[in-house]
C-alpha cells in the first residue's frame, strides 16, 4: 500500500489549524516537526534512544506532516488542503510560508515513523498520556493513565491546548458530573473526564474519522460505560442541562456556539474553552459575557512549550510544563478560559 507524505511549512500559531485541516482531509495521523525539540535532552528512560538530526527540521517555523493514501483523487485533496491553508488568514491566523510538498512513502515506513515522536507525558496532577506501544507503569497511587494510538487520528493529547483542558478537568471534576465534549477528536478529553470521575460524557464531532477514532480510544481505555460518542455539528440539537461543556477548538469555532453552550449548561455550570490563541482571548471572553457567562479563570501556556526567549522547558519530554496564570508573563501563546454560566 502506498501513501503520500504531505508536508506543510507553517508558523507556530497555525500548527493546530493546519493539523485540523489535514485531519479533515482524511489524514491517518500528523507529525509536527518543530526545531525546538533539537534543544531537548532526549534519553532512553522509556526504552528507546532518540537521535534527532538538524537536517530533518526547518530553520524557521514548523513542518506539519500527514499521510494520505495514494488514490485517484489525491490531487484534488491536495488542492483542497492548499486552499484551506491559504484561507487561514481570513480567520486572523498567520500560516507562515504555507508551502505544501509531497513525497511517496511505504506503509511500513509510516508505521515506524510515529514511534520516534511520542512517549509517555504527565499532563496533569493525575493524568499521564502514553502511546499504546509503551509499557508504561503508573508512578503514583492516584495516577490515571490514558492510552492513545496516534495513528488513529491527529492529536496525541500533549499539545498545550489539550494539556490546559485536561488540567482544568482535573481541577474541576469532583465526581458525578455530566460533561459534553465538543469537537472531541481522538476523544482524549472525554476519556480524561470519565477517568477523573464524571458520571456521564457525551463526545461529539462532525468528522466521521474523528468519531471512529474516539470510539476506538474509548474502548481501549475501558470507559465506554460512561462515554457516548456521536457525529454532530457542535451543539446543534443537543439538550441539557449538564454540569460541564469542554471544547478544544479554534476561537473562531467557539464563537459560533457560545450561546448554545450557555443553553445546555445548568446555572453555575462551567464552560472550559481552549484552542484559543492569546490574540483572540479578548474577543472570546466578550462573547462569553454577552452569552451570560462570568469568566472565572484564564490559564496560559507557550507555543509547543517554548519560553519567550526561545528556550524550552528541560522537563517537557516526560512532564508537560507548568500552567502560566499571569497573562503578562508571556507575549503570545495559548489560553484556556474557564467560564461559569450565571444564574437566571
Cell of 231: 457525529
- To the question of whether residue 128 is assigned a binding role by annotation, the answer is no
Domains of the chain by start residue, with CATH: 2-115 (3.30.70.260), 121-341 (3.40.50.150)
pTM of the model: 0.69
Indicate the SS3 state at residue 320.
coil
Left, alpha or beta for 183 (phi > 0: left; psi -120 to 50: alpha)?
A: left
Lowest mean pLDDT among 110-114, 211-215, 247-251, 275-279: 110-114
Q: Which of 238, 243, 339, 245 is nearest to 292 (CA)?
A: 339
User: Of residues 156 and 280, which shows the higher confidence score?
Assistant: 280
Q: How would you label 52-77 residue by residue, b for 16+ Cβ within 10 Å and e otherwise?
A: eeeeebbeebbbbbbbbeeeeebeeb
Cell of 153: 487520528
Q: What is the pLDDT of residues 282-304, one digit of tens each?
A: 999 999 999 999 999 999 988 65
What is the Cα–Cα distance from 12 to 62, expressed in whole angstroms?
6
The predicted structure's pLDDT at residue 53: 46
pLDDT band (50, 70, 90) for residue 1: low
pLDDT at 316 over 50: no
Cell of 336: 484556556
pLDDT at 109 over 70: no
Q: What is the pLDDT of residues 57-98, one digit of tens each?
A: 556 788 888 888 776 667 778 888 888 898 888 888 888 888
What is the Cα–Cα distance from 175 to 173, expressed in whole angstroms?
6
What is the Cα–Cα distance from 274 to 59, expressed in whole angstroms?
29
- To the question of whether residue 39 is assigned a binding role by annotation, the answer is no
Q: What angle do CA 179, 156, 31 make, to 5 degrees?
A: 145
pLDDT at 39 over 70: no
Greatest pairwise CA separation for the chain in angstroms: 58
- To the question of whether residue 205 is assigned a binding role by annotation, the answer is yes
The predicted structure's pLDDT at residue 32: 80
Q: How far is CA 219 from CA 112, 134, 215, 216, in A?
A: 24, 18, 6, 5
- To the question of whether residue 303 is assigned a binding role by annotation, the answer is no
Amino acid at each position: 500500500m502506498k501513501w503520500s507524505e504531505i508536508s506543510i511549512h507553517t508558523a507556530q500559531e497555525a500548527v493546530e489549524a493546519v493539523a485540523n485541516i489535514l485531519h479533515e482531509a482524511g489524514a491517518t495521523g500528523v507529525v509536527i516537526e518543530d526545531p525546538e525539540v533539537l534543544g531537548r535532552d532526549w534519553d532512553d528512560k522509556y526504552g528507546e534512544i532518540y537521535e534527532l538530526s538538524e537536517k530533518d527540521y526547518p530553520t524557521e517555523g514548523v513542518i506539519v506532516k500527514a499521510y494520505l493514501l495514494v488514490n485517484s483523487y489525491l490531487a484534488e485533496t491536495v488542492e483542497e488542503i492548499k486552499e484551506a491553508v491559504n484561507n487561514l488568514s481570513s480567520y486572523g491566523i498567520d500560516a507562515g510560508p504555507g508551502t505544501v510538498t509531497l513525497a511517496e512513502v511505504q506503509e511500513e515506513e509510516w508505521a515506524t515513523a510515529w514511534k520516534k515522536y511520542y512517549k509517555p507525558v504527565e499532563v496533569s496532577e493525575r493524568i499521564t498520556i502514553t502511546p499504546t506501544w509503551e509499557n508504561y507503569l503508573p508512578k503514583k497511587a492516584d495516577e490515571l493513565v490514558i492510552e492513545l494510538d496516534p495513528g488513529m487520528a491527529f492529536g496525541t493529547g500533549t499539545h498545550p491546548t489539550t494539556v490546559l483542558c485536561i488540567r482544568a478537568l482535573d481541577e474541576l471534576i469532583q465526581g458525578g458530573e455530566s460533561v459534553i465534549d465538543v469537537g472531541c477528536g481522538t476523544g482524549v478529553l472525554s476519556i480524561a473526564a470519565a477517568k477523573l470521575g464524571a458520571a456521564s460524557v457525551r463526545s461529539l464531532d462532525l468528522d466521521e474519522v474523528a468519531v471512529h477514532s474516539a470510539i476506538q480510544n474509548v474502548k481501549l481505555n475501558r470507559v465506554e460505560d460512561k462515554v457516548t460518542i456521536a457525529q454532530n455539528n457542535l451543539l446543534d440539537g443537543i439538550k441539557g442541562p449538564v454540569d460541564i461543556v469542554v471544547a478544544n477548538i479554534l476561537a473562531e469555532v467557539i464563537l459560533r456556539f457560545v450561546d448554545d453552550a450557555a443553553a445546555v449548561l445548568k446555572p453555575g455550570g462551567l464552560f472550559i474553552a481552549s484552542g484559543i490563541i492569546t490574540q483572540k482571548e479578548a474577543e472570546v471572553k466578550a462573547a462569553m459575557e454577552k452569552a451570560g457567562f462570568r469568566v472565572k479563570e484564564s490559564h496560559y501556556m507557550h507555543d509547543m512549550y517554548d519560553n519567550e526567549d526561545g528556550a524550552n522547558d528541560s522537563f517537557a519530554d516526560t512532564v508537560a510544563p507548568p500552567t502560566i496564570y499571569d497573562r503578562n508573563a508571556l507575549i503570545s501563546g495559548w489560553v484556556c478560559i474557564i467560564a461559569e454560566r450565571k444564574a437566571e
